[in-house]
Amino acid sequence: QTSKFPDKKMAILSCMDTRLVELLPHAMNMRNGDIKIIKSAGALVTHPFGSIMRSLLVAVYELNADEVCVIGHHDCGMSKISSESMLNRIKERGIPEERIETLKYSGVDFDQWFKSFDSVEASVKDSVDV
């Protein structure tokens, strides 16, 4: 039986890549209830006050996680993304240019938001540094 508290007092930030769904728990010898897993595209923490950081803070201060691991992986889709191509796809799907401009005017930096990376190691270090 499990509770809301992780048995191993650990939180992991990992990529949302579907290959990791079974691979990560198996590689780390984890079962349901052992840890809190937080997933994001690329396992990236891009803002100190964003939802990923909020989830990590809840894991540590409310769910008693003593350790936080950031786990990246090779061949990550986020390493190949460009903000320009993402914005083009968003527009192709029907999001009006005015909405995108409103977000930009509100302070959304799409180059930072859709930030890709060249090195898994550097991206993990960058997330830890945030």
Number of DSSP helices (H) and strands (E) in the chain, helices first: 6, 3
Cα gap 112→65, rounded to integer Å: 29
Find out whether 69 is annotated in a ligand binding site: no
Angle at alpha carbon of residue 79, lines to 57 and 44, rounded to 5°:
5
Q: Which two tokens stand for residue 23?
A: 């691979």
Q: Which helix (H) or strand (E) segment is 71 a member of?
A: strand 67-71
The answer to whether the CB of 127 falls within 8 A of the CB of 55 is no
To the question of whether residue 73 is assigned a binding role by annotation, the answer is yes
d(CA 85, CA 91): 10
**Residue 75, annotated ligand binder?**
no
Provide the annotated binding site for Zn(2+): 15, 17, 73, 76
Provide the annotated binding site: 15, 17, 73, 76
